[in-house]
Amino acid sequence: MNALLKIFLCLGTAGLVYAQQPPPTDIYLLGMKFKKNNYLLTQPQNITARAGYDNQPHFHPEKPLLYYSSAGNDGRTDIKVYNYKTGETRLLTQTAEREYSPTVTPDGKFISCIIQRDNGAQDLGKYPIDGGEPVVIINNLIVGYHAWINEHQLLLFVLGEPNTLRLFDLRTGRDKIIAENIGRSLHRIPGSNEMSFVEKRADAWYIRKYNPVNETITTLTSTLPGREDLTWTPDGKILMSNGERLFSIHPGRERVWKELPASAAMSLKSITRLAVNRKGNKLALVASE
């Protein structure tokens, strides 16, 4: 198998690269509040009501902004910004490349993202948060997904056979493999410097916790069967979907996933990515059109 073909097969497995037009998806925004030991949700609002791919939502930590990846008619993706206070949407990038997984950097000055190039490379780069030319952060790995630990360290999902979880230090260039056969959902756990990831084992899939200080890994809980997308709430709960409904669990306090009462009435299909804002009163999710 030649190297370029191997790269594209790996990318397709990770769900990031598509040989043709990315699959049509929409992003829905819901209000949420915690009451009587559960989350109450408002009816979902489709904030990307158009044909095509809109995916990978990420909230700004302070402002009423939601960043996401959006494909044009040619299938190339750019980063868009939705202001959920004013209802306005604007482009952050408009390039010949493809941008995925927008993430606000720890210093708040940039949006880091995957930059996919026509030659098969997938770099990690960052754009000024108000727009401008990108700066390449990592270009020696095929990066699929990323999450910031702090201003100097990242967790990376690196594509390969198998896909690997890596700790990358920008100061030293140190690149250490932490785990293999992982999922695409990488998160910093609220209120700590620890990170979560999904490990896909033969018997089941597990949500694992990584401590970057002592480099230990512990198991938090198993995922919903066959599901890898999750998000954390500010009070330490994990939200996941089985594709149609939403569930929560508080690791260390609860042992069983609990369905959110209002999720059965959402009437959404093929729910995947999830994101909660820092205040814990907004939930974004991706579903099929």
Token digits of residue 12: 């397709």
Cα distance between residue 132 and residue 123, in whole Å: 17
Cα distance between residue 238 and residue 6, in whole Å: 34
Token digits of residue 269: 């299909």
The predicted pLDDT at position 3 comes to: 39
At 200, the amino acid letter reads K
Q: What is the pTM assigned to this prediction?
A: 0.92
Burial of 280 (C-beta count, 10 Å sphere; 0-12/13-18/19+): middle
Q: Could you tell me how far CA 39 lies from the centroid of its own chain?
A: 21
Are 257 and 227 within 8 A, CB to CB? no
| CATH fold of the domain at 3-288 | Neuraminidase (2.120.10)
- Largest alpha-carbon pair distance within the chain? 57
**CA atoms within 13 A of residue 225's CA, in its CB half-sphere:** 0
Output the CA–CA distances (angstroms, integers) from residue 116 to 100, 145, 201, in the order listed. 8, 12, 28
Q: Could you tell me how far CA 129 lies from the centroid of its own chain?
A: 18
The predicted pLDDT at position 6 comes to: 40
Instruction: Specify the 3-state DSSP secondary structure of 51.
Output: coil
Point out which residues pair with 143 in neighbouring strands: 158
Point out which residues pair with 65 in neighbouring strands: 83
Give the DSSP H or E segment for 14. helix 3-14
Q: Could you tell me how far CA 92 lies from the centroid of its own chain?
A: 18
The predicted pLDDT at position 264 comes to: 72
Cα distance between residue 102 and residue 112, in whole Å: 6
The predicted pLDDT at position 90 comes to: 97
Cα distance between residue 289 and residue 279, in whole Å: 28
Positive or negative CA dihedral for 263, 258, 183, 123?
positive
Digit-by-digit pLDDT tens for the chain (289 residues) are 333 334 433 444 344 443 456 799 999 999 999 887 888 899 999 999 999 999 999 999 999 999 999 999 999 999 999 999 999 999 999 999 999 999 999 999 999 999 999 998 999 999 999 999 999 999 999 999 999 999 999 999 999 999 999 999 999 999 999 999 999 999 999 999 999 999 999 999 999 999 999 999 999 999 999 999 999 999 999 999 999 999 999 999 999 999 998 777 788 999 999 999 999 999 999 999 8
Are 1 and 14 within 8 A, CB to CB? no
Q: Could you tell me how far CA 81 lies from the centroid of its own chain?
A: 15
The predicted pLDDT at position 20 comes to: 52
Q: Which residues contact 10 (CB under 8 A, 6 or more apart)?
A: 142, 159, 160, 161, 163
Residue 24 carries which DSSP code? P
Residue 139 carries which DSSP code? -
- DSSP string covering 140-202: SS-EEEEEESSSSEEEEEE-SSS-EEEEEETTT--EEEEEESB-S--EEPTTSS-EEEEEE-S
pLDDT tens profile 159-218: 999 999 999 999 999 999 999 999 999 999 999 999 999 999 999 999 999 999 999 999
